[in-house]
Amino acid sequence: MDLHTTDRQMVLGTMDFGTRVPADRAFAILDSFVAGGGVWLDTANCYSFWNDPEGVGGASERVIGAWLRERPGARDAVRIATKVRHNPLVPHERDSAEGLSEEAVRTGAEESLRRLGVDHVDLLWAHAEDRDVPLEETVLAFGELAAKGAVARVGAANHPAWRVERARSLARERGVEPWTALQLRHSLVQPRPLTPLAEGGHRMLTAEDLDLARSEGLAVWSYTSLMWGSYVRPDQPLPDSYQHLGTSRVLQVLGEVAEELEATRNQVVLAWLMRQGIDPIVGASRVGQVEEALAARRVRLDDGHLARFAEAR
């Protein structure tokens, strides 16, 4: 897949809205994103229960809903993606997550629509696997929501490729909407092979995932795209699992390319992702971060740049 950067979408991650990012600042970020041509908003029904005094999710969706109410016409300007699976049923208890049963999917989606104040979302994600529920039950639950018009598309986040394709096969057999999008963790730097991630529940994008997506025409979204600011913030070092020679070489090339193109390191990373047909999710806590990220759409990486990064890794 050889797409120009501008063929891809920049996705605004809203995980911290209503918790670490207060509503007024979130409104300014959303306004700036839309003014700059941004379209997709990514949230989840569990965001961000770990930072919310109430111990449950919903804050991010409520902020987006309030913004939509105060901005007539804004719903027509944005597409909204949310997720079900991880919202705790018992406040503060991560292990009480709702799961992906038919009831949990239906209830989770209904509550998300209510908080957002919309009649449908443009994409509903299964936030992670739920091996305690038959996959067919989950597939049918998502398919029912699509048939009712409550969701326009459905996708799988943090699922291995074989489970996604099995789910798509079940959807075809039962005549319901299949998952057509993948969301996984990916960035320019990579952890050491076979090294567990410190962040529970994160699943890295693999070559198999990309192969499936390109073969079947699935959208691919990446999260942790900018590694919590580690590309540009000396006070935010990369996790230990990323400390290896390949990372050092990649960061050296990143600095060189950024200087050559008169772009920031973050912008080059985002352009690298988009050049491969991946839609990066970018979380923002300030308007300036949104403006920087959107400007990455104008950064042009050629085949030579890609080769230099590939050789460094």
pLDDT (tens digit per residue) in 100-142: 999 999 999 999 999 999 999 999 999 999 999 999 999 999 9
pLDDT at 1: 33
Look at residue 4 and tell me whether its pLDDT is greater than 70.
Answer: no
195 confidence band (pLDDT: 50, 70, 90): confident
User: Alpha-carbon distance 261 to 295, whole Å?
Assistant: 13
CATH of the domain at 279: 3.20.20.100
Task: Give how many domains the chain has, as a whole number.
Answer: 1
Residue 173 Cα distances to 33, 86, 211, 236, angstroms: 40, 28, 23, 48
5 — pLDDT class (breaks 50, 70, 90) = very low
pLDDT class of 34 with cuts at 50, 70, 90: very high
**For residues 44 and 86, is the Cβ–Cβ distance under 8 A?**
yes
Quote the tokens at residue 199: 């962040």
Structural domain including 231 reads 5-312
Q: Tell me: the pLDDT tens digits for 298-310? A: 999 999 999 999 9
The average confidence (pLDDT) of the chain is 96
Whether 7 shows a pLDDT value over 50: the answer reads yes
Residue 235 binned pLDDT confidence (cut-offs 50, 70, 90) = very high
Helix (H) or strand (E) holding 126: strand 123-126
Residue 144 has pLDDT above 70, yes or no: yes
pLDDT value of residue 16: 98
Confidence (pTM):
0.95
Which pair of structure tokens corresponds to residue 229? 């600011």
SS3 percent helix, strand, coil of the chain, rounded to 5, is 45, 15, 40
The residue ranges of DSSP E strands in 171-257, in sequence order, are: 179-185, 219-223
Q: Shortest CA distance to 45 belongs to which of 32, 33, 61, 34?
A: 61
* Closest to 302 measured CA to CA, from 279, 281, 271, 280: 271
Q: pLDDT above 70 covers what percent of the chain?
A: 98
